[in-house]
Chains A and B, each alone.
Chain A
């Protein structure tokens, strides 16, 4: 069966450290992978895209890697801040232009 798993439901990290979130998938052949941020009571907000032929993408303090052999994406937030506290969702895009979401990891950055 198809599955998208994000490493843990919750992750606590000290301010200033690098947060690393994991997204693993099975039985998908994604053309691209996206990461979203979701705050309580709000809809997800798009952060970054990485395509199947790309290994790494960066945007300010964010970095995403994509390993289609391992079927895994890693999402890094460097120099984390309390304002980074949120739930982060990975989403796989297939050629049919549908997006399949993981369950999310709730990140808390402790001052």
Chain B
């Protein structure tokens, strides 16, 4: 089955810095990826997604990069703010018929003023 790994459990940055959170997946046939943000005391919330036919997708202050060759994706947050402090999960669709997801273990982003 699919496994989703994470490179760094905690990332500490200064306000205004750019943040990069990484994720690796195992199944080269995976074709849909999602980043979620989970703030303290809340459920995960969708941030951005990307399909395997794309290398890059941009949202508001966030960019997701997908490297299918090495099975790696990253989430970049520009001009990180204290409100960005949260746990970030990457997720890979593992059953497109039922839309089930396999989640990585999460990276806690800590933003200091």
Question: Does chain A bind chain B?
Answer: no
B binding-site residues for A, Cβ under 8 Å:
none
